[in-house]
Structure 1
Amino acid sequence: MKVLFDTNLWISFMIGKRLASLADVLCRNDVQVYMSELLLDEIQTVIARPKFNVIISQESRQAFVDMVDNVCHWTPITKQAESPIRDIKDLFILSMAESVPVDFIISGDKDLTELESHAGIPILSYSEFLNKLDL
């Protein structure tokens, strides 16, 4: 199963929320998590904000990048999604999902989850995704 986690989920994982369940997901042979340079750039931009300095150490940030490099499947964004999404900054997530194409977009972003699906790709909350995996 090919999946795409959005930015806010990766940030949640980094600050310790649901980190154990992420490890369970990443260790599964039947789940491939996809990443793009643009998504990683956005994650790094967010965690570089001063408010995260007391929560996420430089070592943890580097460990995250190393982990992503080792466990995620890298993909270029080759499609340009069109969607009536409220936050245009989220459009690249939909474009990336189409480019792979993934089986599921996993998001904690209400703007995305309210869509329920995009281009036939279901958009699930992390809890809904874990239920699908029986975790």
Structure 2
Amino acid sequence: MKVLFDTNLWISFMIGKRLASLADVLCRNDVQVYMSELLLDEIQTVIARPKFNVIISQESRQAFVDMVDNVCHWTPITIQAESPIRDIKDLFILSMAESVPVDFIISGDKDLTELESHAGIPILSYSEFLNKLGL
């Protein structure tokens, strides 16, 4: 199963929310998590904000990048998605999902989850995804 986590979920994982369940997901042989340079850049830009300095240490940030490099499947974004999404900054997530293509987009972003699907790809909350996996 090919999946894509959005920026909000990666940030949640980094600040300790649902970290144990992420480990369960990443250790599964039947789940492939995809990452792109653009998504990683956005994550790093967000966690560089001053408000995260007291929450996420530099060591944790580097450990995150190392983990992503080791466990995620890297993909270029080769398709420019079209969508009526409210926040145009989220369009690259849809483009990335189409480029792979993934089986599911997993999101904590209401603008994405309200779409319910994009190009036939279901958009699930993290809880819905865990239920689908039986976790």
Deviation at 1:66, TM superposition (A): 0.1
Deviation at 1:34, TM superposition (A): 0.0
Deviation at 1:91, TM superposition (A): 0.0
Deviation at 1:68, TM superposition (A): 0.0
CA-to-partner distance for each residue in 1:84-109, whole Å, 9 max, x for gaps?
A: 00000000000000000000000000
Cα RMSD over matched residues?
A: 0.1
Distance (whole Å) between structure 2 residues aligned to residue 83 and residue 74 of structure 1: 23
TM-score by length of 1: 1.00
CA-to-partner distance for each residue in 1:49-87, whole Å, 9 max, x for gaps?
A: 000000000000000000000000000000000000000
Q: Which runs of 5+ in 1 are unaligned?
A: none
After the TM superposition, list the runs of 4 or more consecutive aligned residues in structure 1 that deviate by more than 6 angstroms. Answer: none
Distance (whole Å) between structure 2 residues aligned to residue 75 and residue 34 of structure 1: 7
Deviation at 1:15, TM superposition (A): 0.0
Percent pairwise identity: 99
In structure 2, the residue matched to 1:132 is 132
SS where residue 54 of structure 2 aligns? coil
Deviation at 1:7, TM superposition (A): 0.1
Deviation at 1:126, TM superposition (A): 0.0
Q: Which runs of 5+ in 2 are unaligned?
A: none
Deviation at 1:122, TM superposition (A): 0.1
SS where residue 123 of structure 2 aligns? strand
How many residues align? The count is: 135
Distance (whole Å) between structure 2 residues aligned to residue 38 and residue 91 of structure 1: 12
In structure 2, the residue matched to 1:42 is 42
Distance (whole Å) between structure 1 residues aligned to residue 62 and residue 26 of structure 2: 18
Distance (whole Å) between structure 2 residues aligned to residue 6 and residue 108 of structure 1: 7
